[in-house]
């Protein structure tokens, strides 16, 4: 069963999902097949024990379900297929339980089809009320148009000669949805073009920009946010004030946005700051930390109860560079638990080592490094780099020389590390070794070499030693 679609599906579920799925399947009108029910309970028991491979063999599963019958491959296959279909129906049911506006909208559509006007009007009111309370996102505008379009259909079915109150409103709602979706696609096209070699053609976007620029968008924050973002992506260096307007508007509305809507908008602002910092504008560093902090506080950056290891690492480095040491210590200890389970210990010990290094508590930093198990190649490389810096700060020249040689051998022998990853560390080793050998009189020449070397890991630290 290891590579079956059913098992792949079930392996994505957490405890809450399991309880919901089991409850759904236990209802006879959902599941007329008692054997599918038994299979699900058996697989749930295997999940609680960590999906042991030997227990997932087809013959073993079949025997657990039907101990008195000979193994029948096709029978088990059909049972797994039935359970998978049932689980997929549960997915839809679960979505409708969570999205009241969508459920009421579907109900209203069916009532219009059945020509039950009174019933439809009640469902329509409930759908509009639910939509008003729902988090704001692009689908909000889509559902607003769908409800108005449905109202127009119901009005048309009545065959009256009175003026329609819905046709113009439905047309405007469709425009709102289309323009917002067009802006989203265009902004992502501009963003992707900076990352990959691919050309896009965002048709009609100029017409959308011109149309929206003449409107009052105070009640359409997503349209305004993406207008700001379009300007920022077009010319980042010319739209710094636009960035601050974007951030202010985002902060004012973030509590009304859905997580799926807020997350990319926040990452756009984060990436803008990172870009400005790379251009040498260090004044954006506090703004970047503020955006990260908002993302953590409001759980925008925590997806499926996990924080991205890269976000975690970037926040630590940013806090250290801003000398927010107490904040970094609290953050490292609290949020290491939000990382993938296999990275938590290394992340905690490595980043505490970085913190103690910045505080010049080198023995404490070494003690933390000794506890790093190198489950991730980046922590391995980072730990070797940090060890070399600690030895330099302690004046342990023999230990430093030995550490640099061991690091060099590690890079040369480890073929699983790409050249792109190796090169900045190889350059760091070479320049640190040169720093170790040369007298201060040669520092200006070495400093120029450090400034010119690309790519280079820990350039700022090397320049500080050469000051």
Instruction: Write the DSSP string, 28-50.
Output: TTT---HHHHHHHHHHHHHHHTT
CB of 52 closer than 8 Å to CB of 46: yes
The tokens describing 178, both together, are 């289309």
pLDDT recorded at residue 324? 96
Contacts 24+ apart (CB under 8 A), 269-277: 269/243, 270/295, 271/191, 272/232, 272/236, 272/243, 275/236, 276/236, 276/240
CA dist 195 and 298 (Å) reads 28
CA dist 163 and 157 (Å) reads 14
What is the Cα gyration radius of the chain?
A: 29
CA dist 187 and 175 (Å) reads 18
Cβ-Cβ contacts under 8 Å for 326 (sequence gap 6 or more): none
CB of 271 closer than 8 Å to CB of 284: no
**H helix count then E strand count, the chain:** 23, 2
Nearest to 329 by CA among 361, 299, 300: 361
CA dist 236 and 268 (Å) reads 12
DSSP state of 164: P
Share of the chain above pLDDT 70, in %: 100
Distance in Å from the first CA to the final CA of the chain: 62
CA dist 216 and 200 (Å) reads 29
CB of 7 closer than 8 Å to CB of 1: yes
Taking only the tens of pLDDT, the chain with its 467 residues reads 878 999 999 999 999 999 999 999 888 777 678 898 899 999 999 999 999 999 999 999 999 999 999 999 999 999 999 999 999 999 999 999 999 999 999 999 999 999 999 999 999 999 999 999 999 988 899 999 999 999 999 999 887 778 888 999 999 999 999 999 999 999 999 998 887 778 889 899 999 999 998 889 999 999 999 999 999 998 887 888 999 999 999 999 999 999 999 999 999 999 999 989 888 899 999 999 999 999 999 999 998 889 988 899 899 999 999 999 999 999 999 999 999 888 899 999 999 999 999 999 999 999 999 999 888 888 899 999 999 999 999 999 999 999 999 999 999 999 888 898 999 999 999 999 999 998 889 999 999 999 999 999 999 999 999 98
CB atoms within 10 A of CB 408: 16
**What sign for the dihedral angle of Cα 114, 117, 123, 125?**
positive
CA dist 148 and 168 (Å) reads 9
User: Element (H or E) spanning 179, and its range?
Assistant: helix 167-195
The tokens describing 134, both together, are 């729902």
CB of 234 closer than 8 Å to CB of 257: no
HSE-up of residue 165 (Cα within 13 Å, Cβ side): 1
The tokens describing 262, both together, are 């807020």
CA dist 2 and 152 (Å) reads 51
What's the predicted TM-score (pTM) here?
Answer: 0.81
CB of 386 closer than 8 Å to CB of 380: no
Nearest to 153 by CA among 139, 164, 138, 137: 164
pLDDT recorded at residue 318? 95
**What sign for the dihedral angle of Cα 220, 226, 229, 231?**
negative
Bridging pattern class, strands 306-307 and 302-303: antiparallel
Which spans in 196-343 are helix H? 205-213, 221-234, 240-253, 259-278, 285-297, 309-321, 325-335
Look at the block and give the residue holding tokens 């430093």: 400
CB atoms within 10 A of CB 268: 21
CA dist 383 and 156 (Å) reads 70
Please report how the helices 15-26 and 34-48 are oriented relative to each other, as an axis angle in degrees rounded to 10. Answer: 160
pLDDT recorded at residue 34? 86
Strand partners, 303: 306
């Amino acid at each position: 069963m290891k590579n079956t679609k059913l098992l792949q599906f079930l392996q994505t579920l957490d405890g809450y999902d399991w309880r919901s799925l089991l409850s759904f399947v236990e209802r006879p009108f959902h599941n007329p097949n008692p054997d599918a029910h038994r299979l699900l309970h058996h697989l749930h028991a295997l999940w609680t024990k960590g999906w042991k491979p030997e227990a997932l063999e087809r013959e073993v599963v079949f025997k657990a379900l039907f101990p008195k019958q000979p193994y029948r491959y096709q029978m088990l296959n059909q049972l797994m297929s039935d359970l998978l279909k049932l689980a997929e129906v549960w997915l839809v049911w679960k979505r409708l339980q969570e999205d009241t506006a969508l459920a009421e909208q579907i109900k209203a559509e069916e009532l219009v089809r059945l020509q039950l006007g009174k019933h439809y009007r009640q469902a329509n009111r409930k759908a509009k009320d639910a939509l008003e309370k729902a988090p704001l996102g692009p689908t909000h505008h889509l559902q607003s148009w769908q409800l108005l379009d449905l109202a127009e259909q119901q009005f048309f079915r009545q065959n009256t000669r009175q003026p329609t109150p819905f046709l113009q409103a439905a047309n405007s709602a469709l425009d709102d949805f289309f323009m917002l979706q067009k802006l989203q696609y265009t902004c992502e096209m501009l963003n992707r073009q900076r990352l990959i070699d691919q050309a896009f053609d965002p048709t009609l976007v100029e017409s959308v920009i011109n149309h929206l620029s003449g409107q009052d968008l105070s009640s359409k924050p997503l349209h305004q946010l993406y207008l700001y973002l379009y300007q920022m992506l077009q010319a980042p260096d010319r739209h710094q004030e636009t960035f601050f307007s974007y951030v202010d508007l985002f902060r004012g509305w973030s509590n009304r946005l859905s997580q799926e809507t807020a997350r990319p908008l926040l990452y756009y602002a984060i990436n803008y700051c990172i870009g400005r910092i790379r251009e040498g504008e260090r004044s954006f560093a506090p703004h970047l930390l503020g955006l990260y902090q908002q993302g953590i506080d409001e759980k925008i950056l925590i997806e499926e109860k996990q924080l991205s290891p890269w976000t975690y690492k970037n926040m630590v480095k940013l806090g250290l560079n801003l000398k927010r040491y107490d904040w970094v210590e609290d953050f490292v200890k609290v949020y290491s638990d939000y990382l993938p389970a296999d990275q938590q210990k290394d992340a905690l010990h490595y980043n505490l080592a970085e913190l103690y290094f910045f505080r010049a508590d080198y023995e404490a930093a070494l003690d933390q490094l000794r506890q790093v198990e190198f489950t991730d190649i980046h922590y391995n490389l980072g730990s070797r780099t940090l060890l070399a810096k600690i030895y330099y700060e302690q004046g342990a020249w023999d230990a430093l020389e030995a550490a640099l040689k061991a690091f060099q051998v590690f890079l040369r022998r480890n073929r699983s590390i790409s050249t792109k990853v190796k090169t900045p560390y190889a350059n760091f080793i070479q320049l640190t070794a040169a720093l170790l050998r040369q007298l201060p009189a040669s520092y200006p020449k070495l400093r120029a070499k450090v400034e010119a070397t690309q790519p280079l890991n820990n350039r700022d630290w090397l320049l500080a030693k050469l000051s």
